[in-house]
């Protein structure tokens, strides 16, 4: 199976940031003949602090994502947090993503599946790869034709994650599309004084290790200036470094 790449800023900050990232993704897609999905969140509903930036909201955010598709022709992926969001979001994007903390929420999975869109379910930090059989079954029994699974690490004590790469072949038992989230897996949740920290320098190695274990997709949150990003900056890949990482994988 040809690998696919999911990339984009963590959250929708501005039309300018979306345009810069989308332009680079289009260039890489053409140069390397790869399958790319543009990712950005219209709402980060699980930020550490109430004061943290969440995004422009669903109505404005979906319009901005639609503008990315119209201008750049990229396929779109974004996450939903409530079952009522599934149908309107599915009118705009190609893939509905279920956040890791919510991957057991039956109503959310069912609503996403019933839209007919691809459903990408991120593995919770507290579950094993084998446990993901059940979210996949919920989606398929609710009408989803195509279900992806995404590995993003497991909780390891406080404020840290560890990746058990055996989860990838375990999840390949349930779906042929298993994505490695190479940037969220290097997070240090809640470890930066009321927000999430991270170690972006390990992202390239995470990607290569996932390839060795059979991953069929790669997820990179990326930003032109991650040190000043409004969400997940410490673990986001610098946009200028994305090409080298993709080259190493193909």
Nearest CA-CA partner of 220 in 244, 194, 197: 244
Instruction: Output the pLDDT for position 235.
Output: 84
For 120-130, what is each residue's pLDDT tens digit? 999 999 999 99
For 54, 105, 187, 240, the CA distances from 24, given in Å and listed in that order, are 24, 35, 24, 9
Is the pLDDT at 149 greater than 80, yes or no? yes
Q: Please return the burial class of 247, using the count of CB atoms within 10 Å of its CB with bins 0-12, 13-18 and 19+.
A: exposed
For 32-63, what is each residue's pLDDT tens digit? 999 999 999 999 887 777 878 899 999 999 99
Instruction: Output the pLDDT for position 196.
Output: 62
Instruction: Output the pLDDT for position 200.
Output: 81
Is the pLDDT at 98 greater than 70, yes or no? yes
Tell me the backbone φ, ψ of residue 223, rounded to 5 degrees.
-155, 145
Domain 4-249 sits in CATH at: 3.20.20.70
What percent of the chain clears pLDDT 90, i.e. is strictly above it?
81
pLDDT band at 155 (very low <50, low <70, confident <90, very high): confident
Q: What is the mean pLDDT of residues 215-223?
A: 97
Instruction: Output the pLDDT for position 197.
Output: 67
Is the pLDDT at 192 greater than 80, yes or no? no
Average pLDDT score, the chain: 93
Is the pLDDT at 158 greater than 90, yes or no? no
């Amino acid at each position: 199976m040809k690998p696919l790449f999911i990339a984009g800023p963590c959250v929708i900050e501005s039309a300018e940031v979306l345009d810069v990232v989308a332009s680079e993704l289009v260039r890489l897609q053409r140069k390397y003949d790869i399958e790319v999905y543009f990712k950005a969140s219209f709402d980060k509903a699980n930020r550490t602090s109430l004061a943290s930036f969440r995004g422009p909201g669903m109505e404005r955010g979906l319009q901005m994502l639609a503008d990315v598709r119209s201008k750049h022709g990229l396929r779109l992926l974004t996450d939903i947090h409530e079952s009522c969001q599934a149908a309107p979001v599915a009118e705009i994007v190609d893939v509905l993503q279920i956040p890791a903390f919510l991957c057991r929420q039956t109503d959310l999975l069912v609503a996403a599946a019933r839209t007919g869109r691809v459903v990408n379910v991120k593995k919770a930090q507290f579950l094993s790869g084998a446990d993901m059989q059940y979210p996949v079954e919920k989606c398929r029994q609710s009408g989803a034709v195509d279900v992806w699974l995404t590995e993003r690490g497991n909780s390891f004590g406080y404020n840290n994650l560890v990746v058990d790469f055996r989860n990838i072949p375990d999840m390949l038992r349930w779906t042929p599309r298993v994505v490695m989230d190479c940037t969220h897996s290097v997070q240090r949740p809640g470890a930066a004084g009321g927000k999430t920290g991270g170690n972006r320098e390990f992202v390239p190695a995470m990607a290569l290790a996932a390839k060795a274990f059979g991953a069929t997709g790669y997820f990179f949150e990326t930003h032109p200036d991650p040190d000043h990003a409004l969400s997940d900056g410490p673990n986001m890949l610098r946009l200028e470094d994305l090409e080298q990482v993709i080259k190493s994988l193909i």
